[in-house]
Structure 1
Amino acid sequence: MPENPLPAYAKQPVGKSRIPAIFWLLLMMSLSLVIGTVLLSNDMKHLRTIDRYFGFGLFSYEIKPPPPKALPRPAPPASVRLPLHATEPATAQTASTFLRTWRISGAAMCAALRNAGIQTSEWAAASFNANTFECFFEHSGKREKDQLPSSIFVIVRGDAAGTINNMRVKIVNPKTDQNGQLDPSILRIFEVMLRQPQWLDFHEALDAIKNLRDIKEDGFGASITFSREVLNPDRYNFTLSLDATSGPQKRTRNYFSDRIWLPSPEPTVETDPTQPAPASAQ
């Protein structure tokens, strides 16, 4: 005989509850909205990050070069102390002791003589040769008794470029004082000629000329001669010339040529404004 079934009010075992599909659908939609909001926010920054990470290729990216590396700090400039003579312009007095050359043009030399009262002609081409330029001064005095007339002849000769070749003076029966020294008006000619080239090593020439003594000095291509004529004791000849003949002299002159160096300023005659202008040598 079968067992009696349980009464209708007897408790039945509890089964698992089922979640409706609509819930899952709503949940998925909510999550999608949240995720989409996160990915699309901030100009799709997160979406771009995921795209670059997984390589989906959803966006095109501009490749920016890496920022330049900072350059190393340069070392401070080295301090160099130059001697004073390296920045100062060379003076004619200093240069003349090293390089024997005319440091004044022929035209400037003639002007210096005129400023000293020796009225030379203008620097111009010589009548006998158009390539030779010169200026000169000539004066003759009156004859007294049996003596030769006193006379002075000065000439500065060079080329068309103004370079001096030589300077010459001839004096006949010159005026002297009670001590037998040359008259200052004539001595002034030699003072200008010796001072203007700035050749400081010829320091004894002027004193010899003042006392009418013969003298000859040579140095580094320059030559100064003042002598009395043998047959005519009252005639004196002066020559100042530059003739570079040795190898070292030629090489030095070529090295310091004006073609590769700036020309040195011409020295000027120093005058005292408080003193009156000198009279012409006559």
Structure 2
Amino acid sequence: MLDNSSYAKQPAGKPRIPVIFWLLLTMSLSLVIGTVLLSNDMRHLKAVSHYFGFDPFPPQLKTLPPKALPRPAPPATYKLPPHAIDAPVAQTASAFLRTWRLSGPAMCAALRQAGIQTSEWAAASFNADTFECFYEHSGKREKDQLTNSIFVIVRGDAAGAISNMRAKIVNPGMDQNGQLDPAVLRIFETMLRQPQWLDFHETLNAIKNLKDVKEDGFGANISFTHEVLNPERYNFTLSLNATSGPQKRTRNFFSGRAWLPAPEPAFAASRTQPELLRQEPPAEHRN
């Protein structure tokens, strides 16, 4: 038989606390702590976060208010002069006026390209305000004949604007047809064709046959004449002169001081020409 003494009552163990109790207690404490920290404008929370070295509320950048836009300036006013609405007056009309289509340095370069070896565009020795390039060639004297010589000069100012072009030939050579030597005629061909004026064909034909010719047109004055006392000396001049009132008004209106400079035109001479000799001109030719 079993001993009933083994079934004697044992002392009861400690009662276990349910898990739900700890959850409820944690939630209650969190609510209490949160209420304390968030109360009084969250000063307690800020004090605790400052104590532990972190800031739950980082400072926000302050945005500056937009600047007020400046007030627009009042529209500009301009009062037209009375003559702006007057009827045109015939006495104030302008006229067609020829202008140089290239500069002095470009003209000198065109002559060199054609075989006339002019000097570089530089200030003249007698006047620093005058610029020029020139060419001089003298041949040998034969018996009682005059020495054949050629002198060419292009003059203008420091800005390159041409004032005039001149040439002088003495006892020029002739070809088999009795016309001016083509090497000398090339000088006048270049001077007349480079400005790209197309209304002086008769001038070139007259020079080729050594005939006197004078032409005026829209401010351009061209002459090729022989000297009365020296028939074997020929003088050529080409210049622009505004003589009439309308021409002067046109020249002043289209002055280079008020307009942008035009590009240089391409040289008409494209082939290489035989070079002529170059010598310093005597003082009597240059003045």
TM-score, length of structure 2 as denominator length: 0.61
Report if the CA contact (8 A) 1:186-1:281 is conserved.
Answer: no
**Alignment partner for residue 125 of structure 2, among 127, 136, 146?**
127
**Alignment partner for residue 280 of structure 1, among 250, 271, 275?**
275
Report if the CA contact (8 A) 1:173-1:235 is conserved.
Answer: yes
For structure 2, which runs of at least 5 residues remain unmatched after alignment?
1-94, 278-287
Q: Considering Cα pairs closer than 8 Å and 6+ residues apart, tell me whether 1 or 2 has the greater RCO.
A: 2
2:243 match: 245
**Equivalent position amino acid for 1:206 in 2:** L
**Equivalent position amino acid for 2:103 in 1:** S
**Equivalent position amino acid for 1:279 in 2:** P
**Alignment partner for residue 172 of structure 2, among 163, 171, 174?**
174
1:10 match: none
**Equivalent position amino acid for 2:166 in 1:** R
**Alignment partner for residue 214 of structure 2, among 212, 216, 219?**
216
Per-residue deviation, 1:98:
4.8
Equivalences for 1:127-276 in 2 at 5 Å?
Answer: 127-272=125-270, 275=271
2:43 match: none
Q: Matched residues in 2 for 1:253 and 1:207: separation?
A: 30
Report if the CA contact (8 A) 1:169-1:238 is conserved.
Answer: yes
**Equivalent position amino acid for 1:163 in 2:** A
Q: Is structure 2 residue 110 aligned with structure 1 residue 115?
A: no
2:48 match: none
Per-residue deviation, 1:130:
0.3
**Equivalent position amino acid for 2:276 in 1:** A
- CA-to-partner distance for each residue in 1:21-43, whole Å, 9 max, x for gaps? xxxxxxxxxxxxxxxxxxxxxxx
Change (3 A) 1:157 1:175: same
For structure 1, which runs of at least 5 residues remain unmatched after alignment?
1-96
**Equivalent position amino acid for 2:273 in 1:** P
Q: Matched residues in 2 for 1:234 and 1:271: separation?
A: 29
- CA-to-partner distance for each residue in 1:5-29, whole Å, 9 max, x for gaps? xxxxxxxxxxxxxxxxxxxxxxxxx
2:23 match: none
Identity %: 77
Per-residue deviation, 1:134:
0.5
Equivalences for 1:22-41 in 2 at 5 Å?
Answer: none
Aligned residues: 183
Describe the SS at the equivalent of 1:249: helix
Describe the SS at the equivalent of 1:114: helix
2:101 match: 103
**Equivalent position amino acid for 2:106 in 1:** A
**Equivalent position amino acid for 1:212 in 2:** L
Report if the CA contact (8 A) 1:175-1:183 is conserved.
Answer: yes
Per-residue deviation, 1:271:
4.2
Larger Rg: 1
Report if the CA contact (8 A) 1:112-1:268 is conserved.
Answer: no
**CA RMSD across the alignment:** 1.6
Describe the SS at the equivalent of 1:257: coil
Describe the SS at the equivalent of 1:204: helix
TM-score, length of structure 1 as denominator length: 0.62
